[in-house]
C-alpha cells in the first residue's frame, strides 16, 4: 500500500517552470504542490488519487442535491 503523504509545498511559478518534471514526479508520489505568484496561491498540482477523490465528492454532492426535496419560499401574506 502506498504511503500517504499530505505535505504541501509552495513554489513560485517561475521556479515551477524550471523544475516542472521534478514537481510532477513528487506529485506522482503523493505530494501536493501550491503554485504561487507574489506569494499568493493561484493554482495547485495534486496527485491523481486526490483528483479522483475530488470528483467522487462532487458526484456525491450533486446526487444529494438532486435527491433533496425542492424548497420554495412561502409567499408573503398581504
Phi, psi (rounded to 5 degrees) for 8: -120, 125
Q: What is the pLDDT of residue 1?
A: 40
Maximal CA-CA distance, the chain: 67
Query: In whole angstroms, what is the distance from residue 38 CA to residue 49 CA?
Result: 29
List the chain domain ranges. Answer: 8-65
Per-residue pLDDT reduced to its tens digit, 1-48: 444 555 679 999 999 999 999 999 999 999 999 999 999 999 999 999
CA distances from 40 to 11, 17, 44, 50 (A): 10, 17, 11, 22
Cβ(14)–Cβ(45) under 8 Å?
no
CATH of 8-65, one of 3.30.390.10, 3.40.1620.10, 3.40.50.620, 1.10.3720.10: 3.40.1620.10
Amino acid at each position: 500500500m502506498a504511503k500517504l503523504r499530505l505535505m504541501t509545498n509552495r513554489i513560485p511559478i517561475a521556479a515551477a517552470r524550471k523544475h516542472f518534471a521534478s514537481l510532477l514526479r513528487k506529485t506522482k508520489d503523493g505530494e501536493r504542490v501550491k503554485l504561487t505568484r507574489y506569494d499568493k496561491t493561484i493554482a495547485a498540482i495534486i496527485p491523481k488519487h486526490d483528483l479522483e477523490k475530488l470528483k467522487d465528492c462532487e458526484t456525491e454532492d450533486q446526487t444529494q442535491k438532486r435527491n433533496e426535496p425542492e424548497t420554495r419560499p412561502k409567499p408573503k401574506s398581504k
